[in-house]
Structure 1
Amino acid sequence: MAVVFKSHGSQVSIEVGEYEHFPKNEHGDVTEKTLAKKRHVYVFLVGFGLLCVLQAILNITLRLSHRLTNPSNIESTCLCAGNKELCPQGWLHFSSSCYYISSQRRSWDSSRQDCLERDADLVIINSRQEQAFLTGFTKAAWIGMSDRDQEGIWIWVNGTAVNKNRLEWAPGQPDGAFGGEDCGDIHTMMNFIGLNDSNCSLRSQWICEKTVK
C-alpha cells in the first residue's frame, strides 16, 4: 500500500495505490554459490602452493645440514695441482680421495665390479665428515661394506671392521630385515638418512672411491 501527497497551490490531493512487486533476481543464489566455490578453490591452491614451497625448503635444508657439517673440509668437485687435475673428469674430490657417483643402478657385486674396472673400489667411509660430504647426491647408493662372512659383523672391502660409533646409521639400522640384508648403502630420504643394510641383489646406484695420486 502506498500513499502519495500532491500539492498544487492551495489544494492537496491524496492518491492511494499499491507498490509493484518486482521479482527477485533468480540468479542471485547461484551467483553467491559460484563465488563461494571460487573462494574455496583459491584458498586450496594457495595452501597447496605454500606446502610445495615448504617441502622444497626442507629438502634443501636437509641436504645442506648433512653436507655442510664441517664446511672447511668440503672441497670443490674439480681441484687442480698446478695444471694437473687431482681427480678424473666427472669425479668429486674430498680430502685425499676422489669419488665417482653412478647414474645407473646395479646389484652390490656388479657395482663393485664397475668400481674395480675404474681402478677404484666401493667407497670406504672413515668419518662423519666424509659421510656428510657423500650425503645428498642420491636417495640410495651402494658403499663398500657387508656382513656376508658373519652376520652382524660389518667389514669394509679392504678388510677392516666398520666402526659403527664413528658413523651415522639410519633409524633402526642395521636390522637384517626381509630374510637377510648383507650389503651396505647410504640413504638420503625423508626421515631415513644414514647408513643402511640392504639385500645385495637389489639394483641401486653406487659410489666408487680412489686415492688422489
Structure 2
Amino acid sequence: MAVLFHSSESYINVEVGEYQEFSRPEPEVSSTERNTKPKFRHFSVVLLSFGLLCVLQGVLNISLRLALSQPCPKVEIVEHTCPKGWLMFASSCYYISSQQRNWDNSRKDCLQRDADLVIINSRQEQAFLMGFTMAAWVGMTDREEEGTWVWVDGTRVQKKKLQWALGQPDGAFGGEDCGDLRTMIDFIGLNDFNCSARSQWICEKKFQ
C-alpha cells in the first residue's frame, strides 16, 4: 500500500506495507561441541556415583567404629576337670578302686564320693573302662526281677548294645544278681556275679 502526500514545496511519497517476521537463525554448533556434551553428561553421572560411594563408605566406617566401641559380652570358658585320681572320658569322671568289697559296700563308697557305681551307656564307654582291672563292680542288678537288669538310676540295661562275656548272664551258683565288668584273656565283657563276693569297683560322676 502507498500513500502520497502533496505540499507546495515538495511531495513525500511514503510506502506502507506488511512485513513478515522471520525467525532468528540458531547459532551453528560444531560437531566437536555436539560430541562434547554427551561426554560431559557421562562424566557428571560418574562423578555423582563416586560421591555417593564415598558417602556410603563414610557411613559404613562410622557404623563399624560404633559397633567395635561397644563392650563385647564376656564368654566364660569352663574347663572341666576330674578330681585327683579320677579318669575322664566324654562328660564323666571315673574312680577305679584299689580295694575289694561286695557290691553294696562298693556302692556306698561311690555315694560317699558324690558319685555312684558306673552306668555304661555305650560300647565306646565300655571299651574305655576295660583293662584297668580284671574284674570290677558296675552299677547294674536284677535283684528286683530275675533276668531284668537295671542300672542304679532305674533305667533298663540295653543288653544288645553292650558287650557281655561269653554265655552271660547265666545266673550260676544259685543266683548272681549283681553285675561286674571282666577283662580276662578268654572272658571279656559284662558278667553277672554273686553280690556278696568281694571285688574292685568303678564309680562315676558327671561334670557339674
Q: How does the TM-score come out when normalised to structure 1?
A: 0.61
| Structure 2 stretches lacking a partner, 5+ long | 1-75
The one of 152, 159, 164 aligned to 2:154: 159
Aligned residue pairs total 133
Q: Would you say 1:96 and 2:86 are equivalent positions? A: no
Decide whether the 8 Å contact of 2:139 with 2:152 is kept in 1. Answer: yes
Give secondary structure in 1 for the equivalent of 2:163.
coil
| Structure 1 stretches lacking a partner, 5+ long | 1-80
Quote how far apart the aligned CAs of 1:85 are: 5.4
The one of 132, 138, 146 aligned to 2:133: 138
Quote how far apart the aligned CAs of 1:106 are: 0.1
Alignment of 1:54-203 (within 5 A): 86-203=81-198
Q: Which runs of at least 4 in structure 1 moved beyond 6 Å after TM superposition?
A: none
Distance in 2 separating the partners of 1:190 and 1:175: 19
The residue that corresponds to 2:33 in the other structure is none
Give secondary structure in 1 for the equivalent of 2:195.
coil
The one of 192, 202, 205 aligned to 1:207: 202
Decide whether the 8 Å contact of 2:80 with 2:207 is kept in 1. Answer: no
Distance in 2 separating the partners of 1:90 and 1:82: 24
Give secondary structure in 2 for the equivalent of 1:98.
strand
Distance in 1 separating the partners of 2:91 and 2:206: 6
Decide whether the 8 Å contact of 2:103 with 2:198 is kept in 1. Answer: yes
Give secondary structure in 2 for the equivalent of 1:170.
coil
Q: CA RMSD in A?
A: 1.4
Distance in 2 separating the partners of 1:161 and 1:124: 11
Letter in 2 for 1:190: I
Distance in 2 separating the partners of 1:159 and 1:147: 11
Distance in 2 separating the partners of 1:152 and 1:86: 37
